[in-house]
A = this chain, B = another copy of it.
């Protein structure tokens, strides 16, 4: 009988193993051949490893292997002698003594993109068509390491604040956010939808754990083909009970963002440097009422207010610009959205029910968060449904929580890909989506 125990020590090294010791002596490592640069007597064989690139030096007569046999896209295991080398990517190079080819790409295959170039200088369309390959570029893959850092920081912060992580179903019977932008599917003869948000479930789970979060895919069948819409994206949601008002939610988000950016600075410094990212300051984020924000930008930028109850994307951009210019802030909370523009579960402002106790967070002029206080009272929730022509009986499962008691609560949803996009100053949300889904793109 064979027994499996833990991971066995390996004699192949990662970059961090080498940097943690003296860079001298023999070393064994594996990796992709990222590029080969012929320099006359010698050649640089650059290996791509998960932590970065490693410069290896091939020398005829010294290295046991034929240089002609090597090609980009192979994976290899190499042996060699470590040398300090300031000009190499990691501050060291490996003078190769041996190369073993592990795997080879298809005979004659030609790379569709110059992935070993620093900047690929190709269209977004081409990058997306060849996403499995374009992500092998060092800068492209750094984008999604930073995205990993954001989601890790989000979770770690919320755990520290007493939140519980939940998993809510993506195949649902009802349509939480209203509207027609919902994907339908056949479910064993019943009609089902893909969840537009975990809204009902996260409110439900506040009744169980007081504070909950989820970071998971959501689906919107929106027919927009813009630089900021996706049909599937990652929503980072949290919801919390026993709030004194929706300001508590904005405060939690502010502190979460501060934590996330500090976490990135500490854990993802390499990627931040690689992409030349400047982390924003979130020590204090201005908050302005929706109606006041409209007036402020209308006055400063001499722009007519067309619809007092809606915010156009251009107005969002100008509000962002205004608070950057006047308060040096990349972020601004816009509060008290009109009731008409918010879903039926949003709590109206008791001092003026035309508005809600809700907010959006704009980052560099783009909405990255929608949040607010929710109705907790059964009769109030039923009344708001009725006023909107909805049938409360269809929402019996959701209303179960109001019926049996809910604390004052609220929460928010953050678009992970949009937050990443604005942090990296990208112009299209597809740049910061691993495998985007849009009107015309279902593959790869």
Provide the bound-state CA to CA distance between A117 and B229, in Å: 47
CA–CA, A141 to B74, complex, Å?
50
Answer whether A141 and B208 are a contact pair too, CB < 8 Å, given A234-B167, A407-B75. Answer: yes
Whether A437 contacts B285 by the Cβ 8 Å rule is no
User: Which residues A151-209 have CB closer than 8 A to chain B?
Assistant: 151-152, 159, 161-162, 164-174, 183-188, 190, 192, 194, 201, 204-205, 207-209
Q: A32-B405, A141-B209 are in contact. Are A169 and B435 (CB under 8 A)?
A: yes
Q: How near does chain B come to A316, taking the closest CB pair, in angstroms? A: 18
Contact with A404, one of B14, B111, B401, B444 (Cβ below 8 angstroms): B111
A145 vs B163: C-alpha distance when bound (angstroms):
11
A105-131 vs B, CB cutoff 8 Å, 1 = contact: the mask equals 110010100000000000000000010
Q: A183-B185, A217-B216, A377-B103 are in contact. Are A169 and B439 (CB under 8 A)?
A: no
Tell me whether B403 and A109 are in contact (CB under 8 A): yes
Q: Which of A76-107 contact B (CB under 8 A)?
A: 102-106
Docked-complex contact B405 and A104, CB < 8 angstroms: yes
Assess whether A20 is interfacial by the CB under 8 Å rule. Answer: no
Q: Closest approach, in angstroms, between the C-beta of A23 and any C-beta of chain B?
A: 20
Contact A4 B250 (CB under 8 A): yes
Q: Interface stretch among A37-45, A54-62, A252-260? A: A252-260
Q: Can you list, as one digit per residue, whether each of A251-271 has a CB less than 8 Å from chain B (1) or not (0)?
A: 110110010000000000000
Q: Report whether B73 and A405 are in contact in the complex, using a CB–CB cutoff of 8 Å.
A: yes
Contacts of A363 in B (CB 8 A): none
* Interface-facing stretch out of A5-13, A337-345, A348-356, A383-391: A5-13
- A286 within 8 Å of B by Cβ? yes
Q: Is A397 an interface residue (CB 8 A)?
A: yes
A149 to B109, CA, bound (A): 45
Q: In the complex, how many angstroms separate the beta carbon of A320 from the nearest chain B beta carbon?
A: 15
Q: Is the CB of A2 within 8 A of B397?
A: no
Report whether A219 and B171 are in contact in the complex, using a CB–CB cutoff of 8 Å. Answer: yes
- Chain A interface residue bracket vs B: 35 or more
Residues on B with C-beta less than 8 A from A232 are: 169-171
**Segment at the B interface, from A132-140, A305-313, A421-429:** A132-140
A184 and B183 contacting across the interface, CB-CB below 8 Å: no
Chain B, residue nearest A137 (CB): B208
Binary flags per residue of A26-52, CB closer than 8 Å to B gives 1, else 0:
000010100000000000000001110
Q: Are B210 and A105 in contact (CB under 8 A)?
A: no
CB of A430 to closest CB in B, whole Å:
12
Contact B148 A105 (CB under 8 A): no
Q: Which residues of the other chain, B, contact A74 by a CB distance below 8 angstroms?
A: 405
Residue numbers in B under 8 Å from A327 (CB-CB):
1
| Cβ contacts under 8 Å, A51 to chain B | 162
The docked-state distance in angstroms from the alpha carbon of A184 to that of B408 is: 39
Decide if A273 is an interface residue (CB 8 Å cutoff): no
Please state if A50 and B103 are interface contacts (CB–CB under 8 Å).
Answer: no
User: A284 vs B4: C-alpha distance in the bound complex, in angstroms?
Assistant: 5
A247 part of interface (Cβ distance < 8 Å): yes
Interface-centre pick from A75, A132, A255 (highest chain B CB count, 10 A): A132
User: Which residues of B lie under 8 Å from residue A286 when comparing CB positions?
Assistant: 1-4
5 A-B interface contacts by CB (under 8 A): A1-B287, A1-B327, A103-B406, A171-B231, A192-B442
